[in-house]
């Protein structure tokens, strides 16, 4: 089965817009700094669905990944739904920044040390302290 790479620009745009719309409604563990509330309400702030790092710039801070590795669907009749299987994760922006997407690799979820929220807090538009973000709740 071909791997879904989320390369279609229109699909990528829809997935990012869906992510930003979650912030308009409100996401547990996210409180956007006052200076960017207008951006949040206009759908211009995105968030990492693991560490809850928030920023207005899709690139270079975020990537679309598979919630469940497609290899888990191999050999089954099950098809992964491209929407249900899309997740937005933060991306490494330099050495030792441990983007959630890069540290996840073939795991189901990034390790507890992952995230730009931890490595680059000065860039994070989310002021919620890490211990209140309920990140990594799926990590065993
Ligand atoms: Zn992250």
User: What pLDDT tens digit does each residue of the chain (140 aa) get?
Assistant: 345 578 889 989 999 999 999 999 999 999 999 999 999 999 999 999 999 999 999 999 999 987 766 656 555 555 556 666 788 999 999 999 999 999 988 787 888 889 999 999 999 999 999 988 875 444 44
The CA 101 to ligand 1 mean position distance, Å, reads: 7
CB–CB of 88/66 below 8 Å? no
- Output the six-digit token pair for 122: 């000065």
The CA 76 to ligand 1 mean position distance, Å, reads: 30
State pTM to two decimals. Answer: 0.85
The CA 49 to ligand 1 mean position distance, Å, reads: 7
Phi and psi for 92 in degrees, rounded to 5? -60, 135
The CA 61 to ligand 1 mean position distance, Å, reads: 9
């Amino acid at each position: 089965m071909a791997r879904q790479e989320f390369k279609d620009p229109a699909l990528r745009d829809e997935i990012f817009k869906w992510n930003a719309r979650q912030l308009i409604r409100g996401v547990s563990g996210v409180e956007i700094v006052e200076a960017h509330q207008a951006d949040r309400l206009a759908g211009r702030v995105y968030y990492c669905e693991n560490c809850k790092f928030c920023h207005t710039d899709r690139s270079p801070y975020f990537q679309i990944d598979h919630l469940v590795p497609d290899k888990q669907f191999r050999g089954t009749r099950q098809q992964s739904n491209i929407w249900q299987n899309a997740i937005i994760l933060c991306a490494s922006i330099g050495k030792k920044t441990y983007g959630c997407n890069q540290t996840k690799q073939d795991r189901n979820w990034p390790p507890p040390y992952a995230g730009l929220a931890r490595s680059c807090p000065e860039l994070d538009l989310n002021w919620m302290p890490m211990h209140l973000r309920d990140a990594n709740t799926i990590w065993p």
